[in-house]
Amino acid sequence: MKIIMLGAPGAGKGTQAKRIAECYGIPHISTGDIFRANIKNGTELGKKAKEYMDKGLLVPDELTCDLVVDRISQDDAAKGYVLDGFPRTIPQAEALTNALKKRGEAVDFAIDIEVPDENIIGRMSGRRACLKCGATYHVEFAPPKEEGVCDVCGDKLVLRDDDKPETVANRLKVYHDQTQPLIDYYTAAGCLKEVDGTLDIDVVFDKIREILGA
């Protein structure tokens, strides 16, 4: 079962991707996690990715395509996977389609989680992250036990640069310009399914399970 999660930054696709992965026993592959790990470790890829992410821009295709294709070729992805954060542009989607075609495979479901921009700006400006262990929280929906302190490792929580309202607004503009065309791409491919992301998180997941047929 090869699944792609679509939706604007902050729509909740990452949360749902993790739940899908746990439910169906397939890996959750997030380019965001890969980039953040590289940023934390100070690699050259991480430094380049950070320059784009801090400005709310998409990381260029050449920094992501080969990485993702290599990842889905690993043994734990033999039964399927959930891609979260890739593809983000038509060239990336075409690269993925071609890579899968060489293996006699294709994307089974492209699930688009729909949330209005104003909801997303409110959601993301309330997010807090631990740069040490990667845990994330929300001041309203998922607060830490102690304000400003990570439950997992006790380090300080911060509002990441890419979650600040002005950056989020720019990320949404980039999304609508570059990523929204993927809706048409996967509609044409016959695998697009849409879910209302403003609903309760459990209701959203139930609707996704209905789509996946389990």
In a domain, residue 109? The reply is yes
In a domain, residue 154? The reply is no
In a domain, residue 158? The reply is no
DSSP conformational letter for 53: H
In a domain, residue 45? The reply is yes
Shortest CA distance to 64 belongs to which of 107, 93, 41, 97? 93
CB hemisphere CA count around 208 (13 angstroms): 31
Q: Which two tokens stand for residue 118?
A: 């104003």
CATH classification of the domain holding 68: 3.40.50.300
Count of structural domains within the chain = 1
Per-residue pLDDT tens, the chain, 214 aa: give them.
999 999 988 898 988 999 999 999 999 998 877 788 778 888 887 888 888 888 888 788 878 877 788 788 889 999 999 999 899 889 999 989 998 999 899 999 999 999 999 899 888 889 999 999 989 999 988 899 999 999 999 999 999 988 888 898 998 998 888 888 999 999 999 999 999 999 999 999 999 999 998 6
In a domain, residue 18? The reply is yes
Active site residues: 13, 88, 127, 160, 171
Query: Is the separation of the CB atoms in 108 and 10 below 8 Å?
Result: no
Shortest CA distance to 204 belongs to which of 121, 125, 114? 114
In a domain, residue 125? The reply is no
The per-residue pLDDT for 214 is 62
Shortest CA distance to 11 belongs to which of 201, 207, 203, 209? 201
In a domain, residue 151? The reply is no
Range of the domain at 81: 2-115+178-212
In a domain, residue 128? The reply is no
Q: Which two tokens stand for residue 59?
A: 């990381």
